[in-house]
């Protein structure tokens, strides 16, 4: 795609059916920001160390969802579910190397919905799945019907020159490392994405736009300028407090599903601190990019008519349960940030403790623009929570994961408990009481007699499924 075609608006599509927006009669712009492998290590989520002033700016003008859960803690399935509004069992996408049209050819995705109703739909960076770093700069597994214009900026990634560290035992593979470099980052994909996003915002002022802006960081390799590493002296890094024997009651299926060594990847204490610092540095580097985009949006005069959504595709373990990956059903992997900032809602500036799911994002963003998504959507609009973050909402959130050999895990998270059922060659179950054990260290399912009542109730919620857990 040429630079000219990327920056020039396409012809207008059919007019939108506007359904009671809170935007003074104007069709709002949508700034839809994704961060790859982003857990809840952000200042606005109460993290004591991480510096994220710009994402905090979004939270200050919107609603921060404190318990938002992805439907599958892996990039491809999670993003496909979120952007289609369909759960993984409906999309039938349970792994990364599958495009949405291969399984759901008739899907109307969230950006496609906006495109169909006259918004200019633009993608910059990673929205659908793209292997990082291997496919950076390509359109791998993207969805052309979603966009009027799309670009995947290339970047140096693992080839960046700088202070380089490899995680032991990974063979120096491109992904399992972190690099602190000096000087500017104009050759990094995220900085290039930021420049293109700013140009999109400042040149597309004549018609409403939907901008999907996907950042790679903090996905490994953790590549960032040294000044962001300097924000985090090793003495400030707290290692997770894993109690002795924590892994003793974790099922075999769970260990297989995460697909990495569950022994801290062979890192000693120094290495673990350095790995956490590298993740935090990548978060702050990504946050700086977000700030540049927000500044450009404000300078363009469009901020008041733009709804901003920030989300991570799933969480990421930083040593909890001695794990350093995603693809688990623990809280650190299934939970991720979600912030929705739109003008005129009473809940703006507040946090919401209600259980919400990433399939809820599609109907929420559509409703903010006065659009109706397809009747097949499997989430609920969160707009009522934007006005009243304290209202009673869903009874449960559902997350699933699978692994080779027929292993399948399904999790249900209620206000107090998480229950996980594993099927396949290693059938098992897990039960955690978040009121007494927020770190999910004690698997109560190992004492089935003492916890028979709770196990029965949680199994019933899981078996009843997401429809029975919807908000009334």
**Active-site option among 44, 70, 75, 352:** 75
- Name 408's bridge partners: 402, 423
Q: Is the pLDDT score of 180 beyond 60?
A: yes
Q: Is residue 380 part of a domain?
A: yes
The two tokens of residue 349 are: 């500036």
Distance between CA atoms of residues 41 and 37, nearest Å: 11
Helix axis angle, 75-84 to 361-368, nearest 10°: 40
Mean pLDDT of the chain: 93
DSSP character string of 116-141: HTTPEEEEEE-SS---TTTTTTS-TT
Report the candidate in 466, 404, 457 with the shortest Cα–Cα distance to residue 431: 457
Q: Is residue 448 part of a domain?
A: no
Phi and psi torsions of 22, nearest 5°: -100, 60
Q: Is the pLDDT score of 17 beyond 50?
A: no
How high is the pLDDT of residue 262?
66
Distance between CA atoms of residues 110 and 29, nearest Å: 14
Q: Is residue 231 part of a domain?
A: yes
Nearby residues of 135 by Cβ (< 8 Å), 6 or more positions away? none
Confidence band of 342 (pLDDT split at 50, 70, 90): very high
Q: Is the pLDDT score of 15 beyond 50?
A: no
- Establish whether 75 is a catalytic residue: yes
How high is the pLDDT of residue 137?
81
Q: Is residue 447 part of a domain?
A: no
Q: Is the pLDDT score of 89 beyond 70?
A: yes
Q: What is the pTM of this model?
A: 0.94
**Average pLDDT of the segment spanning 361-385:** 98
Q: Is residue 379 part of a domain?
A: yes
Host domain of residue 334: 3-15+27-395
pLDDT tens figures, 396-428? 999 999 999 999 999 999 999 999 999 999 999
Give, as one character, the DSSP assignment of residue 335: B
Which segment, 132-141, 214-223, 262-271, is predicted with the most confidence on average? 214-223
- With H, G, I as helix, E, B as strand and everything else as coil, classify residue 59: helix
Q: Which residues of 71-100 are buried (b: 16+ CB within 10 A; e: fewer)?
A: bbbbbbbbbbbbbbbbbbbbbebbebebbb
- Name 357's bridge partners: 69
Distance between CA atoms of residues 101 and 232, nearest Å: 43
Total domains in the fold of the chain: 1
Which CATH number fits the domain that encloses residue 184?
A: 3.40.720.10
If you count them, how many residues does the chain have? Answer: 472
How high is the pLDDT of residue 20?
36
**Average pLDDT of the segment spanning 461-472:** 97
Question: For the chain, what percent of residues have pLDDT higher than 90?
Answer: 86
Q: Is residue 326 part of a domain?
A: yes
**Active-site option among 44, 70, 117, 129:** 129
pLDDT tens figures, 32-72? 999 999 999 999 999 999 999 999 999 999 999 999 999 99
* Element holding 341 (H helix, E strand): strand 338-341
- With H, G, I as helix, E, B as strand and everything else as coil, classify residue 392: coil
DSSP character string of 250-290: S-HHHHHHT-S-TTGGG--HHHHHHHHHHHHHHHHHHHHHH
**Average pLDDT of the segment spanning 268-272:** 94
* Element holding 81 (H helix, E strand): helix 75-84
- Establish whether 129 is a catalytic residue: yes
Strands (E), 36-176: 63-69, 120-125, 149-151, 163-166
Distance between CA atoms of residues 223 and 136, nearest Å: 14
Q: Is residue 385 part of a domain?
A: yes
Report the candidate in 180, 170, 286, 165 with the shortest Cα–Cα distance to residue 227: 180
Q: How many CB atoms lie within 10 A of CB 200?
A: 23
Q: Is residue 102 part of a domain?
A: yes
**Region of poorest pLDDT, from 164-178, 243-257, 285-299:** 164-178
Nearby residues of 251 by Cβ (< 8 Å), 6 or more positions away? 422, 426, 428, 429, 430
């Amino acid at each position: 795609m040429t630079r000219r075609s990327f920056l020039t608006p396409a012809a207008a599509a059919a007019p939108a059916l506007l359904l009671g927006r809170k935007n003074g009669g104007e069709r709002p712009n949508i700034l839809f920001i994704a961060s790859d492998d982003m857990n809840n290590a952000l200042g606005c989520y109460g993290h004591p160390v991480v510096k994220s002033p710009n994402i905090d700016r979004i939270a200050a003008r919107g609603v921060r969802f404190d318990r938002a859960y992805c439907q599958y803690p892996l990039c491809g399935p999670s993003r496909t579910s979120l952007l289609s509004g369909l759960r993984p069992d409906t999309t039938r996408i349970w792994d990364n190397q599958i495009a949405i049209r291969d399984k759901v050819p008739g899907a109307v995705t969230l950006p496609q919905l906006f495109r169909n109703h006259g918004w200019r739909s633009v993608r910059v960076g990673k929205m659908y799945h793209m292997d990082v770093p291997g496919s950076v700069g390509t359109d791998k597994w993207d969805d052309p019907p979603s966009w009027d214009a799309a670009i995947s900026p290339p970047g140096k990634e693992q080839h960046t020159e700088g202070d380089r560290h490899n995680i032991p035992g990974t063979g120096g593979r491109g992904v399992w490392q972190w690099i602190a470099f000096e000087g500017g980052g104009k050759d990094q994909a995220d900085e290039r994405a930021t420049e293109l996003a700013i140009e999109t915002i400042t040149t597309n002022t004549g018609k409403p736009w939907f901008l999907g802006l996907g950042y790679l960081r903090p996905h490994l390799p953790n590549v960032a300028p040294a000044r962001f590493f300097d924000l985090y002296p090793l003495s400030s890094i707290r290692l997770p407090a894993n109690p002795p024997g924590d892994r003793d009651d974790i099922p075999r299926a769970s260990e297989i599903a995460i697909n990495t060594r569950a022994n801290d990847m062979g890192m000693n204490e120094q290495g673990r601190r350095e790995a956490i610092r590298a993740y935090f540095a990548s978060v702050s580097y990504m946050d700086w990019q977000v700030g540049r985009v927000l500044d450009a949006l404000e300078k363009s005069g469009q901020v008041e008519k733009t709804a901003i959504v920030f989300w991570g595709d799933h969480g990421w373990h930083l040593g909890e349960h001695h794990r350093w990956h995603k693809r688990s059903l623990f809280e650190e992997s299934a939970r991720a940030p979600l912030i929705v900032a739109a003008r005129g809602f009473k809940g703006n500036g507040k946090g919401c403790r209600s259980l919400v799911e990433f399939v809820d994002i599609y109907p929420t963003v559509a409703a903010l623009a006065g659009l109706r998504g397809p009747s097949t959507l499997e989430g609920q609009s969160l707009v009522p929570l934007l006005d009243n973050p304290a209202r009673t909402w869903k009874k449960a959130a559902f997350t699933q994961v699978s692994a080779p050999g027929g292993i399948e895990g399904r999790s249900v998270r209620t206000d107090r408990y998480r229950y996980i059922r594993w099927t396949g060659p290693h059938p098992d179950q897990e039960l955690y009481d978040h009121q007494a054990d927020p770190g999910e260290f004690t698997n109560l399912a190992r004492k089935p007699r003492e916890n028979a009542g709770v196990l029965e109730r949680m199994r019933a919620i899981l078996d009843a499924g997401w429809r029975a857990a919807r908000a009334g």
